[in-house]
């Protein structure tokens, strides 16, 4: 479905979709390409994360609270290391619980055998796709849906930039935001 969104590009959209699929329909070349991408992408992501750590180690990080004195600095090692280790324990504990009791977290329909001849009565995406799904359902035209979905995703990138400008002008030292910042970041 997502690859078919590219067909709204004027002039070469249809040809691009055929090139992306590797033919006139989703077939073996398409599945091979996307499987390869989904297999290799985590390794590429690890390379970028390592590059990020290298550059962060060379240049250091910025201070989001705007504090300049040495006594107000928070060092990575004991505070953030403890928070990260605690977060990893919570994450792995929840994964462990999930694998012990998988039926607790899924609907019964997830365990039914797939039948390619019958479409389910109500197809519902996972919770993290519901906002994008609602955006696509609200706009009847294909081009409008693609523009709405692109705007929905761009808002997620623009909002931190807007909030970052306001954050630099605020004094967070003696406010509730300072407590929020210390707990969550």
Residues designated as active site: 57, 61, 83-84, 126
Residue of 139, 140, 107 whose CA lies nearest to 123: 107
Q: Which residues of 27-59 are buried (b: 16+ CB within 10 A; e: fewer)?
A: eeeeeeeeeeeeeeeeeeeeeeeeeeeeeeeee
Integer CA distances (angstroms), 38 to 43, 53, 65, in order: 10, 23, 38
Token readout for 38 is 């989904």
């Amino acid at each position: 479905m997502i690859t078919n969104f590219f067909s709204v590009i004027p002039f070469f959209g249809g040809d691009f979709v055929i090139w992306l699929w590797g033919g006139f329909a989703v077939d073996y070349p398409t599945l091979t390409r996307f499987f390869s991408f989904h297999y290799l992408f985590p390794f590429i992501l690890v390379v970028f994360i390592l590059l990020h750590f290298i550059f962060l180690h060379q240049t250091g990080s910025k201070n989001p609270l705007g504090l300049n004195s040495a006594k107000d600095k928070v060092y990575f090692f004991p505070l953030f290391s403890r928070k990260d280790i605690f977060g990893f324990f919570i994450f792995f504990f929840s994964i462990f619980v999930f694998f012990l009791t998988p039926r607790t977290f899924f609907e019964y329909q997830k365990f039914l055998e797939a039948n390619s001849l019958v479409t389910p009565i109500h197809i519902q995406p996972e919770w993290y796709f519901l906002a994008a799904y609602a955006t696509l359902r609200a706009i009847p035209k294909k081009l409008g849906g693609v523009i709405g979905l692109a705007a929905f995703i761009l808002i997620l990138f623009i909002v931190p930039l807007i909030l970052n400008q306001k954050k630099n002008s605020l004094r967070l030292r003696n406010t509730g935001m300072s407590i929020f910042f210390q707990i969550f970041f």
